[in-house]
Structure 1
Amino acid sequence: MLHEILLSLSGNPSPLLRTDNPSDAFPLVSPSERELLASVAHLSDLHIKLQSHVAQIVSVGHASTICRATATAIKSVHLTAFRRKVREVEEGILRRDPDLVGAYNIVPLTAVVSEFSGWTRRMEWLWGIVQFILTGNKGNGCRGAQLIDRLRTELQTGYLDIEQTALSLISAAEAAWLKQVSAWILYGRLPSFGGEDFFIQKAKDAVEGYVIEPTLLPTFVSESAASSMLFIGRSLNYVREKSSTESGLQGLDNLSPHLKELSALTYPLEPASLSRAITTIRIGLSRSTLQKLLPLSRVIDTLRFLRDFFLLGRGEFAMALTQQADAKLRSRWKRADNLAYEKREGLGAFAVKEGEVMAVLAKTWASMGLMQGQHADEDQDLELARELLHLQLTKSKPDAPLSLGYGPSQQIPRTLATTPFRNLLFSVPVVLTMEIPSPLDMFLSPSDLQTYSIANPYLLSIRRAHIHLTDLWKITSLRKHHPAPPGPPAGSTRSGKAKVRLLRDRFRVRSNVMRSTWVTANAALFFLAETESYLQTEVVAVLWDGFHAWMTAHEERVRPRPPSSEAVPKVTTTAPLEGTCDNGTEDVWLAQSTSALRISARSRGEHPAVPTPACRRHHDPQSLATAHACYLAVLSHRLLLTSTPWTDSLFGLLVNIDHLVALVQRLQGIWTSMDLEADAGVVDAFIDLENEEADVKAALQEVERKVKGGVEEAIAALRTMEADTGFADDIDRVSRNVASADPGEDGVYDAQGQYIPERAGGVERLLMKLEFGGWFTGSGAEAIGLGNETY
């Protein structure tokens, strides 16, 4: 019987222990012994099932290499240990071990069963893990990340034997996972087997290349570490492509430092240690290879280029583009007026086409070249803009709101508004886009460019309305007598005096008609001017200056030393700082920690020169990409692009301003025709000028009312934002997610050298400026006639 028990525990089915009907049980076994044999039978059954299912996972082949490695560890470590325990019990019986064999060579069944009492809970737990590998979560199949998360959770059961078993399986699972990671971060290659279980996948969209699949990422891996791994693999793929055509690129050799970093990791993997190793590998790759492909100077030039053209840093670009677009629209409608009435098939026949939009942009570059004069060929940004920037037709609204974020899932809980500002330039949806040249795509993503493409029509629409309103004051005949009444001696005669009175009466009547229009236009112009000034000077310029200072902080940004009553010893440095060039200037690509230098200087009683932030951090492309994404998130928020009530009210106001300008220009044309008819006898029999003048006047009064209401609605939206504490809290949340701010800094970088956005703008500052316009308040409106028709 003992022989049968040991064979059954070794994994061989035994009819003695597997009789389901109690009446068929072995007749010499007492009820108490039968209960002991039931526990042995349960343990034997678990062993047999584990053997068969583990063999199925290993031999047939699970889709996940991590699951296969875990199953192999169960088979080679724990099941082997159980069989070793069976042999040890058998050897003890044969040696007549007193712990197992009693008097008269009797072997108590309780002694044999007690030897395996500690294995029941462990084997049951292993069986649960094997079932999880086979079925997965909710029966959808097990992924490597799910298994690792499950094993890490099992460490908290409170049983020491389960904890030790889970630790051994975690070591096997995470070792297999780290091998996949090593292939990616050392060679830039996805796993050849089980690649569908790796958290980095090839994107369906060829533009992105590779993306992170969050469901395949273990929870102990931080988002920053995952994005760093993605960046390293992308960079190695790019280096591999460039190394065949360019010499001097050595991104795939000298891997021994990186291998040492990975081999120094212990299991289970600590998130901090893993992130530190990945960061070290990323910085090492940047120092050795990526600085040759993407120097910091090129990054700064590219960001300045985006600032100049997408954020309207170059004002002549917005002016030239607006003028050329208006000229194109006028020519389209002029040709439409020349067509016979029966040939007009509706407004769709006169919509701007793709080729015409591209021609407008080409004329814009030519116009800007003329502004530069003889030095136009020296403007490298203009030549680069001709090559990279494109105007193209698109949908009036994006397919989905663009979320603001700077990591795999670190997002501000607000999205950019989908207000169609892109429709205002050509009356059809048009956006300014840019081709991202290589290797700029290492830090500039399509989502970043989409943010620029949303901010550009927003800022351009405000500038365009400002230009149109300003152009009204250039119509001389609307502001004063033009041409002036005849003077002496022609104006002194009887007929001359009658003509003078006629011209003065005509101008007085028209001046009274235009008075309300000028008041409304002036109010709208003030609103646009102050809003544009706030957005450009207090938001865009301030944030750009802070971001640019962070990138070039090695020039003059040195932390000031607190005052002390003691005499400060002379600053001495016996050797150049690490990360400096031959001429003494810092190289942000080679900057390293100078803590050792500070310690040695302090031990000699000296106060070493405080290194600049550039010497304390390394601006690798991923750090730049993360900082740039944060910069764009804060910029979009401070530009008020995340407030739909504001953007909708502003869009309605801009549409009404366009209507107001069009009606004023139409009224001026009618008055010119009436003057020709009255003074020169030029009569157009197909136009009833008096009725058309009355219609335009009525429409002009209605549009004035809408413009006034639009200004009030926009200011009300600003007041709502000012009262919304959550609107300002989002910016603080961005800063907290980027890094913990150092109170001693001024907002450009923190103690770790990470970018912290400047505290730019503030809705209350814009409202304070707008309050100086008395016409925005009720008393001011009544005083100057904005609220009624008395003047």
Structure 2
Amino acid sequence: MLHEILLSLSGHPSPLLRNDFSESKAQAVLSPPERELLRTARHISDLHCKLISRTTQISASHTSVVCRAVSTATKSDHLAAFQRKILEVEGSILRKDAALVGAYDIVPLTAVMGEFSGWTRRLEWLWELAQFMLSDEKAPPCRAADLINKLRNELQTGYADIEQTALSLVRAAEAAWLKQISAWVLYGRIPVFGGNDFFIREDESDEQGYSINYDLLPSYVTPYTANSMLFIGTSLNRVRARSSVVPGDSDLRHLSSQLRELSNLTFPLSGPMLSRAITSIRLTLSRTTLQKLLPLTRVLEILQLLRDFFLIGRGEFAMALTQQADEKVRSRWRRADNLAYEKRDGFGTIVVKEGEVAAALNRTWAVLGAMQGEHAEEDEELELARDLLRLNLPKTKTSSPTKAKVDAGRRVSDKIVATPFRNLLFSVPVILTLQIPSPLDLFLSTSDLDTYTAINSYLLSIRRAHLRLTDLWKITSLRRHHPAPPRPPYSSTRGGIAKTRTLRERYSARSSVMRSPWSTSSAAIFFLAETEAYLQVEVVEGIWEHFHNWVMGSDERVGQRSSASSLDGPQPRTRRELDVGSPGRETAELPQHTTASQPDHRPKLVARQHDPQTLSTAHRLYLRALTQRLLLTRTSFTDPLYALLIHIDHLVALIHRLDGIWTSIDLEADEGVVDAFSNLEAEEKDVLASLRDVEAKVKRGVEDATGALRSLSMDSAFLAELEGDGDGFDAAEDESAEAGSYGDEAGIYRPRRVGGVDRLLMKLDFGGWFDTDAAGYDAIGDGVF
């Protein structure tokens, strides 16, 4: 009987233990304690048999390499240990060990089953784990991340035997998972077998060609560590694709050091230790191979281009683009007016098309080249911008729900408001984009470009409204007495005196009519000028100087530039000026732009190369701080501002229309040129009525925008966001801190706290400027003229 029990426990089904002992004869032969002991033996035997079958099935057919490794470890370690225990008990019986064999060679069943008392709980736990790994066919297959998380949670059960069993299986699971990681971070290859269970997978819709499935990450792997792994493997694939970068002996030595870095990890894996090892591998890769692929010169070159053209660092670019866009829109309307009514196809003759938008940008480059004159060839940044920048109509992109769920809240562009500032330049949605060159996409992503595009549309719309209002003062016939009274001797005659009196009465009447539009335009110009100066000088220039200083690795803080330097735009620069260091050097001095008569007393700045991922994280922090300080995350301000810009466009259009009507009236009265198809007096009356309505809307728009700023200055949530306590900002700062604390020699980037809505409000305190009485308008009119 004992031999039958031991055979059954070792995995051979036995009819002795399969009997339920419910018949009367069995009850008469066996006592109740013996029946309970046999039931326990049957339970252990069943668990052992099912575990053998299930682990064999998992090891042979499961899609996850980690699950196969755990199943194999279960069978080769724990079930083999149980087999050895059976042989040990059998050997003790055959040797007549006193611990099991009593007097008269009697072997108590209680003593035999007592030897297996510690295995019941372990086998039950292993069976639950096997069921977890190989569930029902209708359920999704077990994934490596879920299995590792479950095993790590089982370490906290409180049972010593379960803890030891779980610890051994955790080592097997994490060892198999780390082998997959090694293939990716050392060679840039996704595992051939079990790739569906790997958290990095090929994604053609992603700009890098690979994406992360965060659901397949174990709990101890932080998103920053996962992004570091993604960056390492993507960079290795990028290096392999470039034939100019060939690995040498030094790269092989670094590969062995990276392999030792992974082999020194202990199980169970610790999140900080794994992150430290991955960061060390990333920094080593950046200092050796990536420094040849992405030198500091190219990074500074593209950052300066983004600053000058997307953030309106070059004021002449914004001015030229605005002029070309207005000219294109006016030409479309003139063409539509010249067509016969029956030939007009709705708005088809008015709406600007893709080719015309691109042509406007090409003419802008021509204007900028003409402005440079003989120095145009030296401005290599302008040539680079001509090659990379594109102005086109945006195309709607549909992203998969899974990808949108993963990236939600991680992109800076998701926080930007949906106010359509891009509609103001051409009256249709138009965006300024950039074609990212191959090495630069290691730190510059499409979402970053979306942020730059939104900021550009925002700043350019304000600059455009400012320029269009100031251009009103160029209309001579509205601003001064035009045409002038006749000169002597005709002015002394009776007809000359009557002509002079008529012209003066006409000018006085029109000057009285235009007093209110001039005052409204002057107030709107003041609001736009102060707002633009705050956004450009204090916010954009302040944050950019600090970020540029950090990229250069300088130990000195750079102060803010004067207000004129930001609005006038920088002088033409060459690539030689941006060449602050070669890839093989660790430090280099910044270029000196001084003469012998003007010695340079500025401290020498030291440039240190950042690794691309640290640079990408810092750049994302820079953009996040920029959008927050520019108030692009608050619809309470952007919506009133957008409505104000619309009303300003309407005001400018009406003033130009009124000038055209008055010119036609003067031709009819003075020269006898009569247009039989128009009623100029009725048109003048309608335009003046519309002008009064638009003036009131502009005044309310300025008041609403100023009120929105005042509300933001008292909003605790907004102030907390600016201080870095807002949602999503701390997470990004933690990622940057993690990058810096694990070996970035140039330090951690923290955006500079610049600006302040209160500073802008002090300048926008209009007082009684918008009083509705005539005295208020007269006071403003006197100041204008």
Q: TM-score, normalization: structure 2?
A: 0.88
Q: In structure 2, do the counterparts of structure 1 residues 208 and 411 end up closer, same or farther at CA, with 3 Å as the change threshold? A: closer
Distance of 1:397 and 1:9 partners within structure 2: 62
State the Cα deviation string for residues 264-298 of structure 1 (Å, max 9, x = none): 00000111111111111111111111111111121
Maintained 8 Å contact 1:227/1:408: no
State the Cα deviation string for residues 554-601 of structure 1 (Å, max 9, x = none): 46469xxxxxxxxxxxxxxxxxxxxxxxxxx99898769xxxxxxxxx
Cα shift at 1:507? 0.8
Cα shift at 1:89? 0.8
Structure 1 residue aligned with 2:662:
671
Amino acid of the structure 1 residue aligned with 2:217:
L
With 17-26 and 376-385 compared, the bigger mean Cα shift is at: 17-26
Instruction: Name which of 702, 714, 718 aligns with 1:711.
Output: 702
Q: In structure 2, do the counterparts of structure 1 residues 24 and 338 end up closer, same or farther at CA, with 3 Å as the change threshold? A: farther
Amino acid of the structure 1 residue aligned with 2:48:
H
Aligned with 2:30: secondary structure? coil
State the Cα deviation string for residues 115-152 of structure 1 (Å, max 9, x = none): 11111111111111111111299932211011111111
Cα shift at 1:486? 2.2
With 435-444 and 14-23 compared, the bigger mean Cα shift is at: 14-23
Structure 1 residue aligned with 2:329:
329
Structure 1 residue aligned with 2:592:
none
With 217-226 and 230-239 compared, the bigger mean Cα shift is at: 217-226
Cα shift at 1:14? 1.6
Amino acid of the structure 1 residue aligned with 2:686:
D
Maintained 8 Å contact 2:390/2:432: yes
Structure 2 residue aligned with 1:523:
523
State the Cα deviation string for residues 624-648 of structure 1 (Å, max 9, x = none): 1110011111111111111122211
Cα shift at 1:751? 10
Q: In structure 2, do the counterparts of structure 1 residues 38 and 741 end up closer, same or farther at CA, with 3 Å as the change threshold? A: closer
Aligned with 1:350: secondary structure? coil
Amino acid of the structure 1 residue aligned with 2:666:
D
Amino acid of the structure 1 residue aligned with 2:712:
M
Structure 1 residue aligned with 2:13:
13
Distance of 1:707 and 1:619 partners within structure 2: 48
Structure 2 residue aligned with 1:783:
776
State the Cα deviation string for residues 500-552 of structure 1 (Å, max 9, x = none): 11111111111111111111111111111111111100111011000011111
Structure 2 residue aligned with 1:149:
149
Aligned with 2:91: secondary structure? helix
For CA contacts below 8 A with separation 6 or more, give which structure has more relative contact order.
Answer: 2
Structure 1 residue aligned with 2:532:
532
Cα shift at 1:689? 0.2
Structure 1 residue aligned with 2:622:
631
Match runs of 1:126-145 below 5 Å: 126-135=126-135, 139-145=139-145
Aligned length: 735
Distance of 1:781 and 1:11 partners within structure 2: 105
CA-based RMSD of the aligned residues comes to 3.2
Maintained 8 Å contact 1:352/1:426: yes
State the Cα deviation string for residues 220-279 of structure 1 (Å, max 9, x = none): 01121111110000010011111x345567796331101110000000011111111111
Q: In structure 2, do the counterparts of structure 1 residues 674 and 780 end up closer, same or farther at CA, with 3 Å as the change threshold? A: closer
Structure 2 residue aligned with 1:66:
66
Distance of 1:358 and 1:655 partners within structure 2: 24
Amino acid of the structure 1 residue aligned with 2:158:
G
Distance of 1:306 and 1:120 partners within structure 2: 67
State the Cα deviation string for residues 313-340 of structure 1 (Å, max 9, x = none): 0011100101111111111111111111
Cα shift at 1:208? 3.1
Structure 2 residue aligned with 1:56:
57
Q: In structure 2, do the counterparts of structure 1 residues 37 and 727 end up closer, same or farther at CA, with 3 Å as the change threshold? A: same
Structure 2 residue aligned with 1:595:
none
Structure 2 residue aligned with 1:483:
483
Distance of 1:787 and 1:17 partners within structure 2: 106
Q: Percent identity?
A: 59
Amino acid of the structure 1 residue aligned with 2:302:
T
Instruction: Name which of 745, 762, 767 aligns with 2:761.
Output: 767
Any stretches of 5+ residues in structure 1 without a counterpart?
Answer: 559-584, 593-610, 744-748
Amino acid of the structure 1 residue aligned with 2:446:
P
Structure 2 residue aligned with 1:447:
447
Q: TM-score, normalization: structure 1?
A: 0.87
Structure 2 residue aligned with 1:641:
632
Structure 2 residue aligned with 1:577:
none
Q: In structure 2, do the counterparts of structure 1 residues 133 and 424 end up closer, same or farther at CA, with 3 Å as the change threshold? A: same
Aligned with 1:211: secondary structure? strand
Maintained 8 Å contact 2:199/2:216: yes
Structure 1 residue aligned with 2:101:
101
Distance of 1:385 and 1:455 partners within structure 2: 18
Aligned with 1:22: secondary structure? coil
Distance of 1:217 and 1:315 partners within structure 2: 47
With 490-499 and 635-644 compared, the bigger mean Cα shift is at: 490-499
Aligned with 1:377: secondary structure? helix
Distance of 1:495 and 1:413 partners within structure 2: 69
With 476-485 and 345-354 compared, the bigger mean Cα shift is at: 345-354
Distance of 1:781 and 1:678 partners within structure 2: 31
Distance of 2:214 and 2:606 partners within structure 1: 33
Q: In structure 2, do the counterparts of structure 1 residues 256 and 396 end up closer, same or farther at CA, with 3 Å as the change threshold? A: closer
Distance of 1:351 and 1:19 partners within structure 2: 88
With 728-737 and 150-159 compared, the bigger mean Cα shift is at: 728-737
Q: In structure 2, do the counterparts of structure 1 residues 133 and 785 end up closer, same or farther at CA, with 3 Å as the change threshold? A: farther
Maintained 8 Å contact 2:412/2:620: no
Instruction: Name which of 667, 677, 682 aligns with 2:673.
Output: 682
Structure 2 residue aligned with 1:265:
265
Distance of 2:236 and 2:707 partners within structure 1: 52
Q: In structure 2, do the counterparts of structure 1 residues 742 and 467 end up closer, same or farther at CA, with 3 Å as the change threshold? A: closer
Maintained 8 Å contact 1:781/1:787: no
Structure 1 residue aligned with 2:644:
653
Structure 1 residue aligned with 2:577:
none
With 95-104 and 67-76 compared, the bigger mean Cα shift is at: 95-104
